[in-house]
Structure 1
Amino acid sequence: MKPLSLLSTLAHLLLASPLASAALSYTVLSATIDNKQLDPSEIKLERVPLGVGPRNGSTGSTIPSAPPTSLTSSRKEGHARRRADLDPRDGTHSTTSNWCGAEQHVPSAAGPVSWVHSIFSVPDLTHRPDYPRPQFAAAWVGIDGGRCRSALVQAGVSVQLYDDGYQFAWVWMQWWPDAAYNFVPFVVDPGNWLEINITAVNTTEAIIEVKNYNNGNVLLMTFKDGAPMCRAEGSWIMEAFYGSQGQVTLAKFSDVWFQQCEVRTQNGQSFGIDGAEIVYMEQPKPGTVQMENVCQAEEYDNANLRCYAV
């Protein structure tokens, strides 16, 4: 329908700031596309400096060329629940301009994070009235990038919504502050279910596995020589990322459930959503300086997190 959609999408998302490093390297370990095992050499990653990166809060933007409106982090004991069976548990809450979801800050006594995991649905988008178009949403799993801002290893999916309702989705990974890499030819569509596993081998090496349960696509890769991770956090996030013209507009989306959320540490301890920091997102209301809540997250139980558009 739109043969140039990928090119136009990537052009729109080019980040204006210079790349931090060209040292990051990757190796495809195995790949299954359309239920066929492929030669790993057939899998090519497109290096695109996407603006998906650490969260922005009261300290302002960590992306120098595209600072967001700085928000004050708010700590509160609970919040109004959309459904009676959803329980905010005992975690803290904060508000940012680009992240929405949960961050599990692992106690240092538990040891460094070694693995983070979730299964989640690819966002299915509808237009947010009166907001600029095109509109987007990203969903991902990652290590670090919240309180630890020196590095962020993440893998997920982004979706672009065009004026006529057409949606284009693509899978990517990023070892921030390096560029993002699009997974080609890994096909994904809104509503598909993805499983993502990120293993921190050490502070500068990680193994990323992405599975699409709907079409059988599986990709297993190793990345080396990234910026040193703190290995202190695991995150499950919806994001309104940054492109060449600033922050994208977060579209409305069907509820995204992050299921089987788990962080494991090198010492063998396991953590889920209980006690995690729950993050809301606000964006400027069109034509005003007023901030408007556009995304909230709620814990269902220790393994399951719901993100929903407001």
Structure 2
Amino acid sequence: MKFTPVLAATILAGVAAAAPGRGLEARVKARASNTNNGKGSRPLQAVDKPSTVKNQTNVEYSSNWSGAVLVNPPSAAATYTAVTGTFTVPEPTGSGSGSQAASAWVGIDGDTYSNAILQTGVDFTVTDGQASFDAWYEWYPDYAYDFSDLEISAGDVIVTVVESYSSTSGIATIENQSTGKKVSQELSSSYALGGINAEWIVEDFEEGDSLVNLVDFGTVTFTGAVAEAAGGESVGVDGATIIEIVNDDDQVVTDVTIDSDSSVTIQYV
């Protein structure tokens, strides 16, 4: 799948935001803003339950997503307008030469509603044994863009927030609580959100027209996992649908547990 740039990203007065920029050269190819080789998320790509898996309820399988998804808003009049999650950046471990990567993010839409996704998060990449980290924002189906002025290291505590002002405008914010640095980007798009899904995800993201090699990311635990709906209602992850990644060998390579109404853990296995 190749993307066509469609996003009109605008930095508004008073918002601390970075223009699209390159991260470390050691990472997987830097996100591109003007070519079809850009890095980006995809909506959930569902796959059949592997034959080796016993029957489980409230679990879906995917080639690219793992985590927790609220697949329905509280009501038709109370669609999701904000999603928050905090996690500690893991220390990814790669094997062999070349690059392997994964991305942890929070977002609105992308599961049962796939026309648009507002999301923000952090990539973890290992290239020839060297780990690097990049914070980014995205309004799918446009590419993801880096926050070029936010330094991130393994062990840092990261707060991620997306909020929609309307179906076609919103803001992505990342705070590195370990360094005290916070960045935001206001966005607008002609691709409207539905506000139908809220999610906390580790993704095997796409670059160009194929998925990157999934890195062993260890464990990512989202705490403070809350979705807000129109009208001010807050919803946690209790009862969310669990998503597990299945690789090309029909093996489940993640293990997701909902620890509480505000915490979900995604583990590479």
Whether TM-score is above 0.5 comes out as yes
1:44 alignment partner, one of 14, 19, 31 = 19
Residue in 2 aligned with 1:212?
176
Residue in 2 aligned with 1:93?
59
Are 2:223 and 1:239 aligned? no
Residue in 2 aligned with 1:119?
86
Seen in structure 2, the aligned counterparts of structure 1 residues 245 and 231 have a Cα distance that, compared at 3 Å, is closer
Q: Distance in 2 between matches of 1:293 and 1:126?
A: 18
Percent identical among aligned pairs is: 25
Q: CA offset at residue 20 of structure 1?
A: 4.4
2:121 alignment partner, one of 145, 149, 156 = 156
The letter of the residue matching 1:236 is W
Residue in 2 aligned with 1:139?
104
**SS of the residue aligned with 2:15?**
strand
Cα pair 2:119 2:138 within 8 Å, conserved: yes
Seen in structure 2, the aligned counterparts of structure 1 residues 147 and 241 have a Cα distance that, compared at 3 Å, is same
Q: 4+ residue runs of structure 1 moved beyond 4 angstroms? A: 76-79
Q: CA offset at residue 227 of structure 1?
A: 1.0
Deviation per CA, 1:99-144: give whole Å up to 9, x if none.
0000012233461111110111223211257xx7411111000000
Q: Distance in 1 between matches of 2:181 and 2:190?
A: 26
**SS of the residue aligned with 2:193?**
coil
Gap runs ≥5 in structure 1: 1-15, 32-39, 58-70, 80-90, 285-289
Q: Distance in 2 between matches of 1:223 and 1:144?
A: 15
Q: Distance in 2 between matches of 1:258 and 1:227?
A: 28
Q: Distance in 1 between matches of 2:95 and 2:114?
A: 30
Residue in 1 aligned with 2:10?
26
Deviation per CA, 1:231-265: give whole Å up to 9, x if none.
11110000111113621111112211100100111
Q: Distance in 1 between matches of 2:5 and 2:20?
A: 18
Cα pair 1:151 1:175 within 8 Å, conserved: yes
Residue in 2 aligned with 1:270?
234
Q: CA offset at residue 25 of structure 1?
A: 2.1
**SS of the residue aligned with 2:154?**
coil
Q: CA offset at residue 77 of structure 1?
A: 10
Cα pair 2:137 2:185 within 8 Å, conserved: no
Cα pair 1:104 1:271 within 8 Å, conserved: no
Q: Distance in 2 between matches of 1:94 and 1:117?
A: 22
Q: Distance in 1 between matches of 2:104 and 2:87?
A: 8
Q: Distance in 2 between matches of 1:226 and 1:196?
A: 24
Deviates more, 1:248-257 or 1:139-148: 248-257
Residue in 2 aligned with 1:84?
none
Gap runs ≥5 in structure 2: 22-30, 33-37
Cα pair 1:272 1:303 within 8 Å, conserved: yes
Are 2:268 and 1:302 aligned? no
Q: Distance in 1 between matches of 2:256 and 2:83?
A: 19
